[in-house]
Amino acid sequence: MLKLISSSRFHRLHPTPLPVLRPSPDSTSPLLRVLASSLRGLTRRTGGRSFFCSDSAEGSDHVPDAEVKTSEESHSKASAIVPTYPRPEDYLTVLALPLIHRPLFPGFYMPIFVKDPKVLAALQESRERQAPYAGAFLLKDEPEGDPSALSGSDADKNVYDLKGKELFNRLHEVGTLAQISSIHGDQVILIGHRRLRITEMVSEDPLTVKVDHLKDKAYNKDDDIIKATSFEVISTLRDVLKTSSLWRDHVQTYTKHIGDFTYPRLADFGAAISGANKLQCQQVLEELDVYKRLKLTLELVKKEMEISKIQESIAKAIEEKISGEQRRYLLNEQLKAIKKELGLETDDKTALTGKFRERIEPKREKCPAHVLQVIDEELAKLQLLEASSSEFSVTRNYLDWLTALPWGEYSDENFDVTRAQKILDEDHYGLTDVKERILEFIAVGKLRGTSQGKIICLSGPPGVGKTSIGRSIARALNRKFFRFSVGGLADVAEIKGHRRTYIGAMPGKMVQCLKNVGTANPLVLIDEIDKLGRGHAGDPASALLELLDPEQNANFLDHYLDVTIDLSKVLFVCTANVIEMIPNPLLDRMEVVAIAGYITDEKMHIARDYLEKSTREACGIQPEQVEVTDAALLALIENYCREAGVRNLQKHIEKIYRKIALQLVRQGETTDATSHSAQSVEPEKAEVDYDELGQNTVQKENSGLVEGSNPEQIGETFKEVDNVQTDISSDQAECLEIAKESEEDKKIETKTVEKVLVDETNLADFVGKPVFHADRIYDQTPVGVVMGLAWTAMGGSTLYIETTLVQQGEGKGSLRITGQLGDVMKESAQIAHTIARSILLEKEPENPFFANSELHLHVPAGATPKDGPSAGCTMTTSLLSLAMKKPVKKDIAMTGEVTLTGKILPIGGVKEKTIAARRSGIKTIIFPSANRRDFDELAPNVKEGIDVHFVDDYMQIFDLAFGDEQFQNIEKQVPNAL
């Protein structure tokens, strides 16, 4: 219905409602003079601008100046209230206008907006009838709603819906008789005159009410309390005026247009321009007692004073902060300008460009032309970019990588073969194949005068020293060393780099390697290459092809750099446990050097010369404090650490030395405690104890703990000291005491050097019970049992194959297989069964054993998965042994794949299987003839004491396993074996 705009609440940054009254000729009241005196100096600085309206919800913040100027020009010395007829007090029925935000006080202007056409027409008609008066009443808040929760637009919509009696019930009873000063469209300017009270409703549309005109209660103008209160209000207003320029404008405008400035008008003025809420202002409007009204106004202006102080402190703090930051910024800018003028410093982009140019300048002659071209283009691009742009940081990082790479910089290689041999022998024992291959590489480099990068793949079980060999090779060649593991790597970008457009893009591992080592010919160790992963981001194994292909890596292209890099001088060393896991295209580019593992003799040398020495130094133990016998080391290797590598052996040696260190420390603490307790005894008593018991004590302790000491000599020494003490004077007692203390120190030092002996008898006290037992279960293998040789990832091992008869009957020939065997091994068993039947038919045509026997073939260690074709000849021999009731020769083991025609095919892991046979005390080994070359390459100490037979056909194995002489020697033992 109505939309009224008034000041909602006081805001320090926007004007408050300022309805004003025009001055009367007599404006010399005492209150006015007191208040105006505080404005004389301020008026000259701020001028006399008047605010005639307040900040409204619709943003209306001004009244047309033409109306005001015309009114002031026509009535420069008269009252601002236009005289009308009849008089204001004659209006007892008025049109009710609701005010939303604040009440209208007498003597103030207020602009409102009227949206209801009927109300607007009624106001226009009243003005034309020379009766321009209406009643302005503050609207009550909705009782069920929170007034602060509603926005201005929501409150206005609610006012539009209010009509008639509903609107009447929402109006405060006390309001203001308002003169309609002007109407511009839907904007109406009201001027407050006097207080009104609603008595009853006359009509609903538009809302018209009957009113009573209210007058202030009588008061004594000379009352001291009223005077004191009014002067306190004025004093507080003057204090507020010093801090708030907004209040100055209000006071100047009001004092310019008001007539007689009385106590009631002072109370109305203070309440009207304060920032109090509408209910507090309404309370002042309803108060007819002048003294109480002044008190209420005083409370409001006091609050304004506190708010002004807080505002001033906040403004001062912010101003100081801003001014300090601005001052610092200006000083920094001036300093930069001064330094730039003097040539002491350049801007960021120039400094960056200079840094990059300085970095690439020493390499310019060696740097490829296409790389120099890219660097120059990027430097020119960097000068044109803004430092705050994202492209600037991308270009800067790109130039940082380009200029940091070692273009054409190579480390000086050492081609001294003798020195390289010495270094390799210092770091590793054995590994003849690997050392020979490295020495060949060095020799070729020496003859050519330059080295060419190669790709060497070291394959072998864990713990044989593959990774540490790479470090030794780098030291022998005087190359920089860089290692990165590709185990589980599933992202191609780790090798080829990211595109520069991606956030957080980085070059690949190879570019990072070159930046870290600073040379273009390092030794790069690619660890665990057989464990490459494959994820959604591509196939890293395929990405490694370009890196490891000697024909391609001279022009390796990284996605981030986008320029080719020459990696042909890089020596790549890869490590793998199982080469079968490496993709064939990748394996084709490598030169595989197999490391089979260490035999017992090699492990003994490694433990004694390398592991024990490094472990002793790491534990802080002196060599003379510990002795580990050869028998203890041999027992440790045979019963605890049978793996092909020496990592587990190193762990056990560390365990031994840790326990020894604890034992030595405990002994030292006990010795220190004994020495301390001896020193804490009184001197005289200590001498007596020493004289009487020292000899026996020293003899007992030294005889048990000190090696090579003579108890009799020590006893005689203390006897001499005892005899001397009885004769010497008191002046010489101190010298004797010092001698005794030095003797005690020598005794303690001798105790701490006690040697701990670790031998085969007490080895279990340091490492626990043995883990392994002898691989050999039988001294003489019974009928149906044959020892085979197997290869595992941890080295070689012996494997028994057992066959027994379940039952016999006509036509019950069958074969049952157990032992957690793989498909290939199951097929080998079937092949062995077929071959055994054919051989038995040839040797003993009348023997129906296989046709009428249900057989059970088992491979012990049933919990261990087994697979492979190399057990074919062993299974065949086991079946024939049972069928002919002949055990095989003693101390024989065999391995080889057998075909249906009886041919023996080659197998792998010759060295591992030979080592396993030696460990089990085997004297005779049967290998396929095709493996003769592999056996000949073995070290002499591995082949020593073993009789090896190479066969092409199974009948040769038959003759070796079931010789007539063997059968005659053990024929009597066959019934017991069965």
How many other β-carbons are positioned within 10 Å of the β-carbon of residue 5? 27
506: three-class secondary structure by DSSP: coil
Place of tokens 């800018």: 333
* Tokens, residue 444: 């070729």
* Nearest of 964, 910, 916, 958 to residue 933 by alpha carbon: 910
Distance of CA 560 to the CA centre of its chain: 24
To the question of whether residue 460 is assigned a binding role by annotation, the answer is yes
Q: Name the burial class of residue 88, with classes exposed (0-12), middle (13-18) and buried (19+) by CB atoms within 10 angstroms of its CB.
A: middle
Token couple for 576: 């793998």
SS3 state at 551? coil
Q: What percent of the chain is helix, strand and coil (3-state, nearest 5)?
A: 50, 15, 35
Strands 795-808 and 785-792, how do they pair? antiparallel
**Token couple for 316:** 């001062």
d(CA 93, CA 105): 20
Tell which phi-psi region holds residue 465, choosing left (phi > 0), alpha (psi between -120 and 50) or beta.
Answer: left
Is 819 annotated to bind ligand? no
Q: Which amino acid is at 683?
A: P
77 is in an annotated binding site: no
194, two tokens:
């006097």
What is the rounded CA–CA span in Å between residue 104 and residue 106? 7
Please confirm, yes or no, whether 870 is among the known catalytic residues: yes
Dist. CA 850–CA 882, nearest whole Å: 10
Two structure tokens written together for 251: 């006071």
If you count them, how many residues does the chain have? 978
Comparing CA positions, the residue from 8, 201, 217 lying closest to residue 100 is 8
913 labelled catalytic: yes
Q: Are 464 and 472 in contact (CB under 8 A)?
A: no
On whether the CB atoms of residues 529 and 540 are closer than 8 A, the answer is: no
Residue 233 to residue 299: CA distance in whole angstroms: 9
Beta bridge partners of 210: 93, 200
Copy the structure tokens of residue 228. 């004191």
**Bridge partners (DSSP) listed for residue 871:** none
* Helix residue ranges per DSSP H, 681-710: 683-705
Retrieve residue 379's tokens. 């430097």
CA 215/CA 88 separation, integer angstroms: 13
Give the strand pairing for 795-808 and 853-858.
Answer: antiparallel
| HEC letters along 102-169 | CCCCCCCEEEEECCCHHHHHHHHHHHHCCCCEEEEEEECCCCCCCHHHCCHHHHHHHHHHCCHHHHHH
The verdict on whether residue 117 carries a ligand-binding annotation is: no
Residue 798 annotated in ligand binding: no
The C-alpha angle 584, 587, 588, rounded to 5 degrees, equals: 85
For residue 135, say whether it is annotated as part of any ligand binding site. Answer: no
Q: What tokens were used for 742?
A: 């030095």
In this structure, what is the dihedral angle of CA atoms 713, 719, 722, 726, given to the nearest 10 degrees?
-130
Strand-pair category, 455-459 with 591-594: parallel
Degrees to nearest 5, angle at CA 691 with 686 and 692: 105
462 in a labelled binding site = yes
Q: Select from 785, 778, 779, 798 the least CA-distant residue to 886.
A: 785
Rounded to 10°, the helix 369-384/348-360 angle is 170
Q: List, as one string, the DSSP characters of 784-832.
A: TEEEEEEEETTEEEEEEEEEEEEEE-TT--EEEEESSB-HHHHHHHHHH
- Annotated catalytic residue, options 29, 870, 878, 881: 870
For the four alpha carbons of 47, 49, 50 and 55, in that order, the dihedral sign comes to: negative
Listed in sequence order, the DSSP H helices in 607-706 are 612-619, 630-639, 647-680, 683-705
Q: Is residue 796 annotated as involved in ligand binding?
A: no
Binding-site entries for ATP: 460-467
Binding-site entries: 460-467
Give catalytic residue positions: 870, 913
